[in-house]
Amino acid sequence: MPINCAEIFARYFPFWDKLSEGQKKEFCIQTSYAEYDKGQNVHGNTGNCTGAILVKNGVLRAYMLSDEGKEITLYRLYPGDICMLSASCVLQSITFDVFVDAEAKSEVYIISSGAFARLMEDNVFVENFALKVATERFSEVMWAMQQILFMSFDRRLAVFLLDENAKDGGDTIKLTQEQIAKYMGSAREVVSRMLKYFSTEGLVEVSRGGVKIIDKTRLKKIAG
């Protein structure tokens, strides 16, 4: 690994000081470092239980696939974030499939599912941490499902545009209509029609380079 294992884990895992020296050693031995290019799959395509993922650099996107093959974005992971849903074989209460892709060039640390499972069995602090992280992510999953099931599409799109705007900081969201549809789990035609409506209402300006927010105040009213 590129930097000291103990230094990494002491920073990001609050249970680190609660581990024995033997457990710390196993944790380090069972951790691998990996780099992924933008768009590359990190977890889900092989059907294997990847393990817990700690993001060092970059951005990862977790999503589900519908029976029709549509992607539904659940949440994003940034430097310092940990994904436990990629170790669903360890958390037996998680029975749905989650996929994780690199949304930008990313560096991650992956703790093997076997090592994490053994530590959860032997150390209550590790178990509590894993359940806490999984619960936090699961609440984001439920929020994504709530949007799809109960929100009108104009509101969903407004929320999406505002979230992307807050993430990137600029007024122009550099995503194609096809990418927006993919991230929202919708059809490109539906996104195109709603963006056209937003454009005629003076809320956004659509171009090949992306979507520029013109009237954030009114967009926030639609988002609720």
> Exposed (0-12), middle (13-18) or buried (19+): which is 135, by Cβ within 10 Å?
exposed
Dihedral sign from CA coordinates of 132, 137, 140, 145: negative
Of 149, 180, 200, which marks where a domain is finished? 149
Total count of domains within the chain: 2
Q: What range defines the domain where residue 97 resides? A: 5-149
Q: How much is the mean pLDDT over the chain?
A: 87
Please give the C-alpha separations between residue 109 and each of 61, 74, 80, 83, 160, in angstroms, as whole numbers.
16, 21, 10, 11, 29
Residue 152 CA, chain-centre distance (Å), reads 23
For the entire predicted model, the pTM comes to: 0.72
Of the listed ranges 86-90, 97-101, 186-190, the one predicted with least confidence: 86-90
Chosen domain end from 149, 179, 205: 149
Identify the domain boundary among 93, 117, 149: 149
How far from 62 is each of 15, 88, 141, 223, CA to CA, in Å? 25, 13, 9, 23
Task: Say which range, 1-5, 109-113, 136-140, has the weakest mean pLDDT.
Answer: 1-5
By the 8 A CB rule, do 186 and 138 touch? no
Any idea what the CATH number is for the domain that residue 44 is in?
Answer: 2.60.120.10
Confidence band for 36, pLDDT divided at 50, 70 and 90: very high
Q: Is 181 found in the same domain as 199?
A: yes
